[in-house]
Amino acid sequence: MVSYDILDFSVISPLGEGKTTHIEALETARIASQYAIGRDEVDLLRDLWEPLKHHVAGVPSHRIGVVVSNSKYQFRSQSFSHESSQLLASWIGPNAIPYNITAACATGLVSVMTGVQWLRRGWVDVVIAGSLETSKVPLVEAAFSQMGVLSKQGVCRPFTEDRDGFVIGEGGALFVLTRANERGTPLAQIEKGTMMADPTDLLSVDPSGNSIASLIRQTIGTSRIDYINAHGTGTRLNDAAELAAFEQVFQADKPLISSTKAQTGHLLGATGSVELALCVLMLSEQVAVPVLPDTSASLMQGMAAFQNIPASLNRILTLNYGFGGHLAALMIATP
């Protein structure tokens, strides 16, 4: 199986800034106390880039790809979605190649998969990929409130019986991607990524779970998955469809499953990249997050295998779906 390296990453989310903070949040199952991060997109991009910029030292700028995306207009910096990738490319060098992906809440994962495609085709030698968003602004929150998907409790409770929607969070993550074994010891390897479209409805996935089940099967093949970071928004329909898909695919040898949105809220276009960062930390630190915050009322009761943390985590699947039918899955493994 051909793989690609996640050489390094940076992350800022409602849980805090940097790897150490997020490892502690995973180990203690800490839930964010607030979901805004108090900075605009340009400041966020600069803070994410600073710990990674040494990785491109000495690489000709025309061999560096920048697939750093926003899924919508950025209200705090008053910039269009493509401007983050252009700005970061300008910091790297005059010939770095910028690109923006707009795939709703699958934007982060699709950006990483696009970066892998660039490496596979030989267009570049290093890719900076990921996504960022600061969406806790009145217009965005009003729009999602009108859709009826925001939690009236003010908390995201994926896969629980009393779930009533999600809370918008802010943040982002950037990844340094290379071809396997080309530039040093990686934190994780990307084994397979899949993008699909679900034509069921503009705002929801197939309630039978069939489209998500197909996405998972195409991604994992015969590989054994130890943990799934579900999209798990805490909405009534999404969680039920996702659970139906898991029941179809994993009849036996069931992996642990949870949704880290219970800790971070839903970061919209940034959610895929932040959740991938958490998954990389789970691999490197061998820690997995249980269903939060209330497993006693979990829809997954009776599926005991989903609640048992395995002896080791070797392979993780992370999933994201977005309005408009965007579906994305990425499988990563220990190096």
CA distance 126 to 182: 10
Residue closest to 44 by CA, chosen among 111, 115, 134: 134
Residue closest to 128 by CA, chosen among 56, 187, 51: 56
Among the options 105, 156, 279, 326, which is catalytic? 105
Report DSSP letters for 236-270, one per residue: HHHHHHHHHHHHHH-SSSPPEEE-THHHH-B-GGG
Is residue 27 within 8 Å of 287, Cβ to Cβ?
yes
Q: In the block, which residue shows the tokens 């990483």?
A: 112
**Is residue 105 annotated as a catalytic residue, yes or no?**
yes
Classify residue 134 as exposed, middle or buried by CB count within 10 Å of its CB (0-12, 13-18, 19+).
buried
Among the options 22, 156, 266, 326, which is catalytic? 266
CA distance 136 to 106: 18
- What is the token pair recorded at 195? 């993008």
Bridge partners for 258 per DSSP = 229
**What is the SS3 assignment for 44?**
helix
**Is residue 279 annotated as a catalytic residue, yes or no?**
no
Classify residue 190 as exposed, middle or buried by CB count within 10 Å of its CB (0-12, 13-18, 19+).
buried
Distant-in-sequence, close-in-space partners of 64: CB < 8 Å, separation ≥ 6: 56, 89, 92, 93, 96, 97, 124, 125, 126, 127, 128
**Is residue 231 annotated as a catalytic residue, yes or no?**
yes
CA-to-CA separations, 94 to 86, 121, 124, in angstroms, rounded: 11, 22, 15
Among the options 54, 62, 156, 231, which is catalytic? 231
Q: Residue 135 is which amino acid?
A: S
- What is the token pair recorded at 270? 């940034």
Active-site positions? 105, 231, 266
